[in-house]
Amino acid sequence: MTQLNINVHHVTRVEGHGNITVNTKDGKIEEITWAIPESPRFFEAMLRGLNYADVTWIAPRICGICSIAHATASIQATEAAFGVQLSEQAMLLRKLLYHAETLQSHVLHFYFLAAPDFLGVGSVFPLVNTHKEVVLRALRLKKLANDLADLIGGRKTHPMACIVGGFTKLPEISQLKVMQQRLAQAMDDLRETVKLFKGLKIPNFVRETEYIALKDPKEYAFISGDIASTDTGTAPIADYLSITNEFCVPQSTAKFSKHNRDSYMVGALARFNNNYAQLSPEAQKAAEDLGLKAICHNPYMISVAQVVESIYAVEESLKIIDQLMAQGLKEEKPDVKVKAGRGIGAVEAPRGILFHDYTYDDKGVLTEANCVIPTNQNHNNIQKDMEALVPSVINKSQEEITHLLEMLVRAYDPCISCSAHFLEVKFV
Amino acid sequence: MKAKLAFFDFTGCEGCQLEVLNFETELVELLNHVDIVNFREAKTESEDNYEIAFVEGSITRESEIPKLKKIRQQAKIVVALGACACLGGVNCLKNFRPMKENLRIVYGDAAKYYDTIPARPISSIVPVDYYVHGCPIDKKEFLKVTKALLLGKRPEIPNYPVCVECKLAGNVCTFDKGETCLGPVTRAGCNAICISNGRHCWGCRGPVDDPNTNSEKEILQKHGLTVEDILNQFRIFNGYLEVSK
């Protein structure tokens, strides 16, 4: 075996900064570290002393890629604290906005960030010349998702129309109609995406772990339900701290997590593993075509689970639009009465389960906040995957091992700005 | 020769870089005119030879300072991208509390592992040539600035308040709805997007060069609001201006 000296300082094509270090001597692994040097942001401190309307305005700034997930978790935590009941129309719009972000984020990840690895290039940019159809398809899907988010949330990044208790602006029926046609056409692009993924060679690596996601008896859960684990069953979201168990490690500004085992996974694969039976028939068919079967223990299959979920997101969006068009949209004034209390918002961000936990005083001013970010919950699982992966591929070249490690990190689609509230590979 | 562009990020949410990736149709065309040589969020290869550097995020750690200085040395033109880089942005909310307390609140007993300094805009460390404002940036404005720079022209950024664009958009004045609004003193260029969507202006594009604060005070008085009300709002994106004084 060759002496390994891997040192990837800032893994690319991920959101934020993370480092991988692998160090071997005389055939023995001395060190494998996944470290996060991202600048800490201090949101939990910054939100203190702010009025609830400003809290829910600032909290999405934790992350530019999943700002809708943070906005929704923030709004739902606040609604839970005040006891606000949401109308059916507002709930439908919130879900529609949410599906837009899931689609946007998944397309960005599997086409722009992960696919270049399978096609042997360093970024999506050269694919413009070699795989123009693929790039144009990716851009069409992304634009559709972004336009849908613009229409419902006012803007895709840091949306403003979604507030505590509902929405400040409603789409026109004519705009929904155009969106309905575009979403229906997008199903063809997604079918082509499934064909593309069928041809990709996904690394075969298996490590059993625990999968945690929201679960709702009524539907494939994104913004409602209890916390489900493939090991221990369901628990109410009020018990989230006993599930996430965050702890600090010296190499990272992001916290790490563990529950029933050494580590657990959240995200598209965790959702699929817990809730696959609730997917639509076409999404289930895509999973079958792509060889994804619950419970899947290969982290490189996360991107495949994202393709499957994208189909689901488009189909669900179509259903919601049908319903909104059938019942008509009416202006509603959010009914918010401020009161002292604590509330927890739990949602499935594209990268996994996200918690915002707020305590407010009787004037609606935040006194305490805790945010548990999906990527933080995955960091420890990434570390454990690396520890299992490296010995299994130790006879490959340093270059190949480095690439497999980077691909592994990318598969998790980490969102490191969020998690520090980290990514670099270091082979020393 | 195509111009070489580079993107860098310090402390922030990377939402502004995402907006650049959100060009979709225009991205393909932009790539006909430029080479993006550094863009960690989207690209593996990188090189240190670039003309225009777009810098996102504010500076919140000592270790970021030499990195920013190196970018300034390499680039002919440095453009601050978004509220965090231009103004310090929401990161400056932590500046109103001692750093030790911030560390304790977030990391508890593990606080000793981490370093943090009061958040600041990149212009407090190095000279900045141009600004693309907003939280997040407006991608049309980013394209406008990039086009101007490629043509060797000075990009025109509005120096009048958001109110001008808001009136043109036909919105009902936020003050008339009984809310505070930073539109009268905030630099336009966003087409009053927040107000058009039923909210108020939070001042994410920073103040115009010579804000008419007397007129803002008059408006506040007329609507029974106080300077304190508006300062609380101003602090959200512009806290650096207040604490650096």
| Cβ within 8 Å, pair A54-B236 | yes
Q: Does residue B155 belong to any structural domain of this protein?
A: no
Considering only residues A121 and A332, tell me which one the structure prediction assigns the higher pLDDT.
A332
B39 and B135 share one domain: yes
Of B236, B238, B245, B231, which is closest to residue B121 (Cα–Cα)? B238
CA distance B33 to chain A (A): 13
Q: How confident is the model at residue A422 (pLDDT cuts 50, 70, 90)?
A: very low
Interface of A with B in 237-266 (CB under 8 A): 248, 250, 253
Among the three residues B98, B115, B150, which one is the final residue of a domain in this structure? B150
Give the full edge-to-edge strand order of the sheet including A352-360.
Answer: A341-349, A352-360, A366-372
CA distance A248 to chain B (A): 6
Domain ranges of chain A: 5-332+341-426
Interface of A with B in 108-127 (CB under 8 A): 108, 112-113, 116, 122-125
B168 and B114 share one domain: no
CA distance B28 to chain A (A): 7
**Cβ distance A331 to A338 under 8 Å?**
no
A264 pLDDT above the threshold of 90: yes
For residues A263-279, average pLDDT: 97
Among the three residues B96, B124, B150, which one is the final residue of a domain in this structure? B150
Minimum-distance CB partner of B31 among A128, A160, A250? A128
Instruction: Please calculate the CA angle B138-B139-B140 and round it to the nearest 5 degrees.
Output: 95
Q: Which range marks the domain in which residue B128 is found?
A: 3-150
Handedness of CA B189, B82, B39, A158 (dihedral sign): negative
d(C-alpha A191, C-alpha A307), whole Å: 10
Asked if A168 is an interface residue toward chain B (Cβ–Cβ < 8 A), one would say yes
ipTM of the complex: 0.93
Least CA distance to B90: which residue of chain A?
A58
Q: Which of A108-122, A314-328, B186-200 has the lowest mean pLDDT?
A: A108-122
B166 and B146 share one domain: no
Interface of A with B in 41-60 (CB under 8 A): 41-42, 44-46, 48, 50-51, 54, 57-58
**Cβ distance A252 to A35 under 8 Å?**
yes
B106 and B185 share one domain: no
B111 and B17 share one domain: yes
Q: How far is residue B6 from each of residues A157, B51, B125, measured CA to CA in Å?
A: 22, 8, 19
Asked if A166 is an interface residue toward chain B (Cβ–Cβ < 8 A), one would say no
pLDDT at res. B43: 64
CA distance A122 to chain B (A): 5
Per-residue pLDDT tens over the stretch B88-126: 999 999 999 888 888 888 777 777 767 789 999 999 999
For residues A222-234, average pLDDT: 97
Minimum-distance CB partner of B197 among A39, A154, A156? A154
Give the full edge-to-edge strand order of the sheet including B130-132.
Answer: B34-39, B3-9, B52-56, B77-81, B130-132
User: Residue B14 is encoded by which pair of tokens?
Assistant: 């990377």
Minimum-distance CB partner of A160 among B28, B60, B197? B197
pLDDT at res. B244: 60
Interface of A with B in 142-161 (CB under 8 A): 142-143, 146, 154-158, 160-161
A427 pLDDT above the threshold of 70: no
Contacts by A165-168 with C-beta closer than 8 Å and gap 24+?
A165/A79, A165/A84, A165/A86, A165/A90, A165/A334, A165/A335, A165/A336, A166/A86, A166/A87, A166/A89, A166/A90, A166/A93, A166/A332, A166/A333, A166/A334, A167/A90, A167/A93, A167/A332, A167/B198, A168/B197, A168/B198, A168/B199
Asked if A203 is an interface residue toward chain B (Cβ–Cβ < 8 A), one would say no
How many domains does the structure of chain B reveal?
Answer: 2
Q: Which residues of A touch B40 (CB under 8 A)?
A: 10, 12-13
A302 pLDDT above the threshold of 90: yes
Interface of A with B in 70-89 (CB under 8 A): none
Among the three residues B150, B174, B202, which one is the final residue of a domain in this structure? B150
B137 and B185 share one domain: no
Tell me, what DSSP letter sits at residue A125? T
Asked if A365 is an interface residue toward chain B (Cβ–Cβ < 8 A), one would say no
Q: What is the mean pLDDT of chain A?
A: 90
The SS3 assignment for A64 reads: coil
pLDDT at res. A261: 92
Q: Which of A56-60, A155-159, A283-287, B31-35 has the lowest mean pLDDT?
A: B31-35
| Cβ within 8 Å, pair A41-B136 | no
**Cβ distance A123 to B39 under 8 Å?**
yes
B17 and B117 share one domain: yes
- Contacts (Cβ under 8 Å, ≥6 apart) of A323: A92
Q: Does residue B101 belong to any structural domain of this protein?
A: yes
| Cβ within 8 Å, pair B94-A45 | yes
pLDDT at res. B78: 97
The domain that holds B69 is classified in CATH as: 3.40.50.700
Q: Does residue B157 belong to any structural domain of this protein?
A: no
| Cβ within 8 Å, pair B136-A44 | no
Q: Does residue B156 belong to any structural domain of this protein?
A: no
Minimum-distance CB partner of A157 among B11, B42, B136? B136
Considering only residues A213 and B2, tell me which one the structure prediction assigns the higher pLDDT.
A213
Per-residue pLDDT tens over the stretch A85-102: 999 999 999 999 999 999
A9 pLDDT above the threshold of 80: no
Per-residue pLDDT tens over the stretch A381-416: 999 999 999 999 988 998 899 989 989 998 998 775
Percent of chain B topping pLDDT 70 = 95
**Cβ distance B6 to B72 under 8 Å?**
no
Q: How confident is the model at residue A417 (pLDDT cuts 50, 70, 90)?
A: low
CA distance B133 to chain A (A): 15
User: Residue A60 is encoded by which pair of tokens?
Assistant: 């999405």
For residues A221-243, average pLDDT: 97
B139 and B170 share one domain: no
User: Residue A56 is encoded by which pair of tokens?
Assistant: 């829910």
B95 and B62 share one domain: yes
| Cβ within 8 Å, pair A157-B18 | yes
pLDDT at res. B228: 83
CA distance B155 to chain A (A): 24
pLDDT at res. B42: 64
A428 pLDDT above the threshold of 50: no
| Cβ within 8 Å, pair B61-A39 | yes
Minimum-distance CB partner of A108 among B21, B61, B198? B21
Q: How confident is the model at residue A425 (pLDDT cuts 50, 70, 90)?
A: very low
pLDDT at res. A250: 73
Per-residue pLDDT tens over the stretch A329-365: 999 999 899 999 999 999 999 999 999 999 999 999 9
Minimum-distance CB partner of A13 among B14, B42, B102? B42
Mutate to test the interface with A, among B8, B43, B140 (most CBs of A within 10 A): B43
Q: What is the mean pLDDT of chain B?
A: 89
Asked if A312 is an interface residue toward chain B (Cβ–Cβ < 8 A), one would say no
For residues B189-215, average pLDDT: 93
B16 and B63 share one domain: yes
Mutate to test the interface with A, among B20, B33, B35, B41 (most CBs of A within 10 A): B41
Homologous superfamily of A5-332+341-426:
Cytochrome-c3 Hydrogenase, chain B (1.10.645.10)
User: Residue B157 is encoded by which pair of tokens?
Assistant: 């950024």
Asked if A61 is an interface residue toward chain B (Cβ–Cβ < 8 A), one would say yes
Minimum-distance CB partner of B18 among A10, A51, A64? A64
B46 and B136 share one domain: yes
Q: DSSP for A281-314?
A: HHHHHHHHHTT--SSP--GGGHHHHHHHHHHHHH
Q: Which residues of B touch A425 (CB under 8 A)?
A: none
